[in-house]
Every structure is written in structure tokens, then in C-alpha cells.
A and B are shown apart, each in its own frame.
Chain A
Amino acid sequence: MLDPELRELYQQVILDHNKSPRNFKKLETANRTAEGYNPLCGDKINIFVDVEKDIVKDISFQGSGCAISKASASLMSTVVKGKSIEEAKKIFEKFHDLITGKLDEDESIEELGKLAVLAGVKEFPIRVKCASLAWHTMLSALKNEDKTVTTE
């Protein structure tokens, strides 16, 4: 029997996104890219974004990472597609509160939609970096910063 805490972290949706990540490719039409790096585990991620008039028209990613980081990147790509840069930033803030346990219980997490499956991360502080690497990298790409993002 899998421990409930562990089951909460590794939900079926996460395992599914890990196995078949969405938008896992190099985006040929990308006009903004960024590389993310977690020096603790050596994980790397490349984010490709096609931005048009402040809207994330398309987004993809490539790289290697654990199930948490891969699923987070995959879910992120599906969630922010079609959103404005401002909206993407707001979603990340809320998502970050969720995985660091700062989101109030009564506060609705509905607007996070599918991202709520990553709520289990809050019980594993050491894995917050895994879940947030893709997001930091995406924000860097949106800012058009030409540098490697690290979790440190």
C-alpha cells in the first residue's frame, strides 16, 4: 500500500503527465526562450514561447527532470496557453502559494484548475523547486531575459 502522503504527491494525473508530457517539443515558432537549471539535481529545462501582443499564443518545453518537475511543466504549458503575460504571472503566484502551503484553506483553488493536483508538493518542501523550475523559466522567457534561470 502506498502511503497516503506519497499518493497525494504522485497522483495519477501527475504520473500521466510524466509519462506523456504535453507540448514536449521544441517550438519552431517560438520568439522567446529560456533555460532553467536546478544545480541540486542537475535537471535542465528549456522553455519555448510564442508571444503575440502580450498573449502566450503557444508554449512548449524540453528537458529532463523528475515526475514532479515534468508534470508541472506539462500542466503549466496547457494552463498558460492563450493567457496574457499578466494572467500567467498571477497564476504562478497563486500556484506558488499552493505548493508552499500558503494558500488559505477557504480560498478557492478552483481557478488553478488542473494545477491543483500538485498541492501534495506542500508536504515535501525539498520538492518545491522541482515544481517551480518550469514556471521560473517561463517567466524569464516572457521577460525575454537571456540568461539561465537557476533554482538557487
Chain B
Amino acid sequence: MIVKQEPTVKEIKNTYDVYKIREDFPILKIKIRNKPLCYLDNAATTQKPQQVLDTLNKYYTSMNSNIHRGVHYLSGVATDAYEEARIKVKNFINAKSGKEIIFTRGTTESINLVANSFGRSNVKEGDEIIISNMEHHSNIVPWQFLCNEKKAKLKIIPIDDNGEIIFDEFLNLISDKTKLISVVYVSNSLGTVNPVKEIIEAAHKNNIPVLLDAAQSVNHLPVNVQKLDCEFLAFSGHKLYGPTGIGVLYAKEEILKTMPPFMGGGDMISKVTFEETTFNELPFKFEAGTSNIAGAIGLGSAIDYVTSKGIDKIANHEADLLEYATVRLKEVPGLKIIGNARQKSAVISFIFDNIHPHDIGTFLDYEGVAIRTGHHCTQPLMQRYNIAATSRASFGLYNTIEEVDILVDSVKRVIEVFNA
């Protein structure tokens, strides 16, 4: 994804010390069956730096309190920290205002929020929603619920063998019935970076709003919602080196204003009588109940961490890892990479004709190598390639070239056993 300009790349490399960065992640020091942990399952979840762990500890040891309600000192401190985290998220994705940042449990809840609130009030019988063939189940199932309820239709953008969206076919799917386009920014199974800017431009020509599933992008490349001009963007904290159970829905303020609340409860109201309820202002209208306060503050800390390392530098480092891993894995006889898009994030899915991914996963586990094996919650994508599963190595900001070597050598040993 990163356009490389030689002098800049060299400068960046000189200032990115991956070995020093690894020191920040206590879990990377542990041994798996006496072998160093080689953690290559970052698309599933990332490890947490000490800075984030310290923030969580500090919150619970010196700030813990409920927010937005209490008049006491701690409640004020916790509220300030929570709202400060919201501003960190806003700045991180360059939203216009903190009102556009809604804390959720994660990408899945963010998408469900849009489907239930925006979707149920805008989609009618016969309308259409467009998604792609490479969506995670979390960007399929909420739309199926909605389409079933409203008798609307789900349209699927086809992809080619390399794992790229067929853009002309996408354009053909757009019609005056299209009410929303919801696509993944970076594919968790293939690593494909979709041409989201072009998708959004085409959608806007037809006045169609766009939701981006950014779960696999905010941690790998700079995301600027104003530049993208997307209406909605969803991501999870735990893939961004933050805690689990916290995520974000970004939405343009003018759309959020028109959307009804998703869940009812405390904090999302301004006045309740038994006859009626007046809803709170944005973004609180969409944050019913006590939020994951520690999670939000932890996410803010994770954003500080990533920002301090530089998302451009991280992207460059990961691009190097991807390039090296791709070359080295291609050395392995019989290995076939699934997903060869021109724009790729640091994810490599691979298969063998005669060795099942689960067998590879078990063997690699004995080498201390953690990869993902299975369908990666993208079963329609697996069906597209006529496979049941892949082995997937996904890289993060702390992975090294040496770990790529361990991965490749371990895979080679598996095929020695199986082809003996």
C-alpha cells in the first residue's frame, strides 16, 4: 500500500528499531514448549505493549469509577480520561469531531449498530445492500438479518483469482435501489487492500453511503476518514494493540443525527418519564449502559503507542516483512499463496494440495509459531476459491525477518514429514 520513495524508505528504516519495540511487549518473551514465541496471528488479535497494560492497571488502581454521572472526584477523573480517549480516536482517524466517535464492543457491534439503526430506518422492501465476496462474517450476517426482515436484497461484488474486487462488476451492481455499500478495507484472509477511495467516489456519485470495515487497516496503514469521505468506519481496539471488548464506530455527524438509537438504557437519555424519553446528544445517544471505560482508555493508550512509533514507519516495516515472507514462502515446494492482490497488507494465506492447514498449525505450534488455520470467518470467500481452509500468517509491528525465517523453515519441516 505504501508508495516507496527510496531515500525516505532508508531514513525510515534507520529510525525503526523493531528489536527495541519488542522490549515493550512482555508476552513476546515467553517460551512455547521451550521455543521462543513466534507470534504470527496478528490479524486475529495483537499483543499489548507494557504502556497499555500500565494504563489499564493505573485506571483500575487509581481512577476506577462510573462516568458521566457522579459528582464525586473519581467520577470526574474517569470521565475526563474516557473523553480524552475519544479525542485520541478522533485525532487518530482525523474525524471532524468527537461527536462522530462512538465506543462499541468492537467492529462487529459497530456494524450491527449501523444495520439496526441506519439500516432499519432506511432500507425498505426491494432495496439493495452491496458487500463484497471477501467480507468477514461480521460484515455479512448483520446485513442478512436486515435484508430478511425488510425483504431487501444483498448484492455481492465478485473478486478475481488474485483476490481483487472486479471493479466494473461493482459499478454494474449499483442501482437506484442501493441503500448502502459496506466493504472491507483490508481483507483479513487475503490481505487485499481494497480501492476504497474509488468505491466511495463511485458510491457518492449515486448518493449512496459507504461503510468501511477497517478492523484490519487502522493498525497497518494511515486512515483518514475526512480524506476517504466514508459515511461509516468500524474497527476494534484489540487489533490495534489495545484491549479486547472495545471498538469504534465512526460516522459522519449529519448521519448520526438522523439515526435512531440502537440500544436503550442509561447514559443515552437526557430525560425519561414513563410516557416518553428524550435522547441524549451525540455521541452518548449510541452508548447505552456503562461503557467499557477501561477499554476505551486502554485503546487511547494503544493509539498513543502506535502514533509514537509512526503508522507510516509501521506500514513500511510490515511491507518489508510481507515482501520477504512472500519470496521465502514461494521457495517451499507445493505451497500456493491465496491472495495475490497488487495492494496487500502483511497477511499471507497459503495452502498445499496434500497437507491440511490444521496439520500445519499443529506442527508449527510445536515450533513456537502461532498462525491461524481455518476459514478465518470468511466462508463465502473460501467457497470462492473452492477450499475449506487456509494457513494464515499475519504480521504486526513487532515481527522480525528472523521470525519469517522460522516460519518458512518450520513449514519446510512439515512437508518433509508429510512427503516422506
Contact = CB atoms under 8 A, between A and B. Distances in A.
Is B truly associated with A? yes
Interface of A: 2-3, 5-6, 9-10, 15, 18-19, 40-44, 64-68, 70, 124, 127, 130
Contact of A67 (B33, B356, B375): B356
Contact of B418 (A15, A65, A127): A15
Contacts of A19: 354, 418
A119 B87 CA distance: 56
B363 A6 contact: yes
6 contacts: A2-B417, A6-B363, A42-B379, A44-B388, A66-B356, A66-B359
Nearest to B413: A2
A41 B354 contact: no
A44 B356 CA distance: 13
B60 interface: no
Contacts of B418: 15, 18-19, 67
Contact of A41 (B363, B366, B374): B374
B375 A42 contact: yes
Given A42-B375, A65-B356, A66-B356, A15 B417 contact: yes
Contact of A40 (B355, B359, B366, B374): B374
A11 to B, nearest CB: 11
Interface residues of B, number: 20
Contact of A10 (B357, B373, B375, B417): B417
Contacts of B389: 41-43
B382 interface: yes
A150 to B, nearest CB: 14
Contact of A42 (B33, B355, B359, B382): B382
A8 B87 CA distance: 54
Interface string B349-382: 0000011111100110010000001110001001
Contacts of B366: 3, 5-6
Contact of B362 (A9, A18, A43): A9
A3 B356 contact: no
B420 interface: yes
Nearest to B358: A66
A3 B413 CA distance: 12
Contacts, number: 53
B362 A6 contact: yes
Nearest to B383: A42
Residue of B357, B382, B417 with highest tally of chain A CB at under 10 A: B417
A124 B358 CA distance: 12
Contacts of B356: 64-67, 70
A132 to B, nearest CB: 14
Interface of B: 33, 354-359, 362-363, 366, 373-375, 379, 382, 388-389, 417-418, 420
B387 to A, nearest CB: 8
Contacts of B373: 41
Given A2-B417, A15-B417, A42 B388 contact: yes
B183 to A, nearest CB: 23
Contacts of B379: 42
Contacts of A43: 388-389
In order of increasing CB-CB distance, the 3 nearest A-B pairs are A66-B356, A66-B358, A42-B388
Contact of B374 (A15, A42, A70): A42
B417 A127 contact: no
A124 B362 contact: yes
Contact of B33 (A3, A18, A127): A3
Contacts of A67: 355-356, 359, 418
Contacts of B363: 6, 10
Nearest to B374: A41
Contacts of A6: 362-363, 366
A41 B375 contact: yes
A15 B366 CA distance: 18
B32 to A, nearest CB: 12
A66 B354 CA distance: 9
B358 A15 contact: no
Contacts of A64: 356, 388
Contacts of B375: 41-42
Contacts of B355: 67
Contacts of B362: 6, 9, 124, 127
A106 B357 CA distance: 36
Given A41-B358, A42-B374, A67-B359, 16 more contacts: A2-B417, A3-B33, A6-B362, A10-B359, A10-B363, A15-B418, A15-B420, A41-B373, A41-B374, A42-B389, A43-B389, A66-B358, A67-B355, A67-B356, A67-B418, A127-B358
Contacts of A124: 362
B251 to A, nearest CB: 33
